[in-house]
């Protein structure tokens, strides 16, 4: 177990070092998030729909879209110079490879969300400060779920024609449970309802994370098996 | 007799049974008190949904078996089951709105089960798109098996959200902890519908599987 996590950390550190040195992917994803939020502002009639009614959807559609676009790069960057083959013959457990990619993706998407959330609060004048801790927790739980599935699927579409299009087509149905759950919980948080009202959704979100992280690390070795 | 002609015979038998479902539903099953004649479509809609779920379940099962044994027949079966499942999903998704319009007053509503069966349909479509996009048979089988298993695991989450999301959909009336709440004559017609759609599923898959086997030998 210790070795598994240590190797995963090596893979994650490699990906993050690559990302932080070029910063192209990260900055593009942040700019994309800001743009989507702007588009949402002009995509509604402010006199007809109250912002609080729409806020949870705006937040989550933006996050899932930004997350989905970021996921493509995880394995795409390994295609150059057959880097993936190199990774696969390196003496590490393939589950470590998956967990490392997952961790790097989570940091990447987490950073995008960390910039996106204040922008969202600013643009839509939603007070998030006093519910920041539970909101961040919900964001984390929902993000882990969809990034876990997305990381595996991005390995699956790597050699497929139209990979950029195939990933969202395969992934979106799997985003529905975390998305619905996150929107439900977020809207209760925004209207200052007690969390006990959404206990079922929280359990569903946690179960989703647990099931899909385990399943994806179990199936990843066969997926990349040549 | 070849698999293909066996499949054809079973399909003809299933179609005959289907004619029986119509006769029984229209002439020999009492009219539901609050919904009137529109409720009759129930005897096609719910069995079609059953066959869709059955198809997805078997895609998942065949996918697990493929990954365990690496036997191409499981992969071929999963592909056929997914295709047939897509067809049944089309039946479910067309009969549903036809029933919903007179009873709920709307063709479509974003009720939990509707939304999520729609997404089940999308999983089937994605599964087939993925199969179409990977040329190498080994990789295609592996990738689609992984997607098939993920699809199957998503189903319980679909079912769970039925209970959590505010829903217009009738709650389960047959498979539930207490006794079925459907009156006897209606229950018999429904179970007969289930049997019919299962026979049709088997007939379709057998024919499709025979074609896929011929394809594999030719290609």
C-alpha distances in Å from residue B178, one per residue of B89, B127, B162, B173 = 28, 36, 18, 9
Helix (H, G, I), strand (E, B) or coil at B185: helix
Taking each continuous run of H as one helix and of E as one strand, the counts in chain B are 6, 0
Q: What confidence score (pLDDT) does residue A1 get?
A: 76
Give the residue-averaged pLDDT of B77-96.
94
**For residue range B29-43, what is the model confidence (pLDDT) as tens digits?**
888 777 777 788 888
List, in sequence order, the alpha helices (H) in B105-175: 112-133, 137-164
B contact set with A (CB within 8 A): 67, 115-116, 119-120, 122-123, 125-126, 129-130, 133-134, 139, 142-143, 145-147, 149-150, 153-154, 157-158, 160-161, 163-165
What pLDDT score does A98 carry?
93
Which residue of chain B comes nearest to A222, CA vs CA? B142
Q: Is residue B32 part of a domain?
A: no
CA-closest candidate to residue A224, choices A106, A124, A96: A96
* Residue B32 backbone dihedrals phi, psi, to 5 degrees: -70, 135
Residue B162 has pLDDT above 70, yes or no: no
The ipTM is 0.89
Are the beta carbons of B122 and A222 separated by less than 8 Å? Answer: no
Our CA-based measurement puts residue A88 at a distance from the nearest CA of chain B, in whole angstroms, of 16
Q: Which residues form the domain of A105?
A: 2-224
Q: What is the pLDDT of residue B170?
A: 61
Residue stretches of chain A with pLDDT short of 50: none
Least Cα separation, residue B137 to chain A (angstroms): 12
- Give, as one character, the DSSP assignment of residue A198: G
B contacts of A176 (beta carbons < 8 Å): 115-116, 119
Q: Which of B82, B63, B214 is nearest to B153 (CA)?
A: B63
* Higher per-residue pLDDT: B178 or B156: B156
Nearest 10 degrees: CA dihedral of A223, A7, A168, B72? 0
Residue of B70, B126, B129 to mutate for A, most A C-beta atoms under 10 A = B126
Q: What is the pLDDT of residues A71-91, one digit of tens each?
A: 887 788 788 777 888 888 888
Binary contact (B122, A212; C-beta < 8 A): no
Q: Which residues lie below 8 Å from residue B26, measured CB to CB, with a gap of 6+? A: B40
Whether residue B146 and residue A223 make contact (CB cut-off 8 A), yes or no, is yes
Using a CB-CB cut-off of 8 Å, the residues of chain B touching A166 are 129-130, 133
Residue B64 has pLDDT above 90, yes or no: yes
* Residue entry with tokens 């990349």: A224
Q: How confident is the model at residue B143 (pLDDT cuts 50, 70, 90)?
A: very high
d(CA A122, CA A116): 10
| Res B159 pLDDT > 80 | no
Look at A215 and B150 and tell me if their CB atoms are within 8 Å: yes
pLDDT at A141: 95
Percent with pLDDT over 90 in chain B: 49
A57 close to B (CB below 8 A) = no
CB contacts under 8 A, A 160-179 vs B, are 160-162, 166, 169-170, 172-174, 176-177
> How many domains are there within chain B?
1
Of A174, A180, A222, the CB nearest to B161: A180
For A161, which residue in chain B has the nearest alpha carbon? B133
What average pLDDT does this structure show over B32-59? Answer: 87
Interface contact flag, B142 A222, Cβ < 8 Å: yes
Q: What is the pLDDT of residue A158?
A: 83
Determine the average pLDDT of the residues in B190-203: 92
CB–CB of B165 and A180 under 8 A?
A: yes
Higher-confidence position of B57 and B109:
B57
Cross-strand partners of B36? B32
Q: Which residues of B touch A175 (CB under 8 A)?
A: none
CA–CA dist A157, A96 (Å, integer): 20
Given pLDDT bands bounded at 50, 70 and 90, which one contains residue B165? Answer: low
The per-residue DSSP string of A69-120 comes to HHHHHHHHTTTGGGHHHHHHHSSS-HHHHHHHHHHHHHHHHHHHHHHHHHHH
Is the separation of the CB atoms in A139 and A182 below 8 Å? yes
Asked if residue B29 belongs to a domain, the reply is no
pLDDT > 70 fraction of chain B, expressed in percent and rounded = 89
Task: Tell me the residues of chain A between 118 and 147 that have a Cβ less than 8 Å away from chain B.
Answer: none
Residue B82 lies in domain:
3-24+37-218
Residue pair A25/A77 in contact (Cβ under 8 Å)? The answer is no
Residue of B110, B120, B134, B143 to mutate, interface with A, max A Cβ within 10 Å: B143
| Averaged pLDDT of chain B | 86
pLDDT tier, B60 (very low <50, low <70, confident <90, very high otherwise): very high
pLDDT tens digits for range B108-140: 877 767 777 888 899 999 999 999 999 888 999
Q: How many domains does chain A have?
A: 1
């Amino acid at each position: 177990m210790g070795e598994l996590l240590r190797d995963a950390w090596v893979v994650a550190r490699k990906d993050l070092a690559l990302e932080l040195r070029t910063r192209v992917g990260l900055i593009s994803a942040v700019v994309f998030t800001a743009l989507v939020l702007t588009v949402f502002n002009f995509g509604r009639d402010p006199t007809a729909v109250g912002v609080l009614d729409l806020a949870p959807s705006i937040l989550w559609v933006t996050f899932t879209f930004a997350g989905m676009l970021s996921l493509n790069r995880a394995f795409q960057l390994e295609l150059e110079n057959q880097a993936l083959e190199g990774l696969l013959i390196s003496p590490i457990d393939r589950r470590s490879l998956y967990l490392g990619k997952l961790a790097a993706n989570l940091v990447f998407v987490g950073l995008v969300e960390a910039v996106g959330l204040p922008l969202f609060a600013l643009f839509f004048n939603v007070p998030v400060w006093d519910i920041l801790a539970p909101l961040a927790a919900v964001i984390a739980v929902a993000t882990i779920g969809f990034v876990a599935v997305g990381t595996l699927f991005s390995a699956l579409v790597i050699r497929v024609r139209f990979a950029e299009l195939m990933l969202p087509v395969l992934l979106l149905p799997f985003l529905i449970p975390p998305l619905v759950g996150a929107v439900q919980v977020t809207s209760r948080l925004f209207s200052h309802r007690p969390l006990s009202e959404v206990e079922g959704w929280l359990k569903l979100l946690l179960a989703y994370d647990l099931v899909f992280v385990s399943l994806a690390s179990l199936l990843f070795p066969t997926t990349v098996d040549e | 007799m070849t698999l293909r002609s066996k499949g054809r015979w079973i399909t003809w038998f299933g179609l005959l049974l289907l004619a029986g479902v119509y006769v029984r539903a229209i002439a020999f099953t009492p009219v539901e008190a609050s919904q009137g004649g529109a409720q009759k479509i129930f005897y096609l809609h719910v069995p079609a949904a059953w066959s869709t779920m059955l198809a997805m379940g078997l895609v998942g099962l065949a996918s697990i078996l493929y990954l365990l044994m690496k036997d191409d027949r499981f992969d071929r079966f999963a592909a056929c089951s997914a295709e047939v499942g897509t067809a049944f999903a089309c039946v479910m998704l067309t009969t549903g709105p036809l029933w919903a319009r007179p009873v709920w007053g709307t063709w479509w509503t974003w009720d939990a089960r509707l939304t999520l069966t729609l997404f089940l349909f999308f999983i089937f479509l994605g599964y087939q798109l993925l199969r179409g996009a990977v040329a190498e048979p080994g990789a295609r089988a592996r990738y689609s098996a992984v997607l098939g298993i993920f699809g199957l695991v998503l189903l319980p989450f679909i079912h769970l959200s039925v209970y959590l999301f505010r829903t217009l959909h009738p709650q389960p009336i047959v498979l539930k902890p207490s006794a079925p709440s459907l009156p006897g004559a209606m229950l018999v017609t429904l179970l007969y519908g289930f049997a019919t759609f299962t026979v049709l599923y088997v007939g379709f898959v057998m024919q499709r599987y025979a074609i896929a086997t011929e394809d594999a030998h030719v290609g």
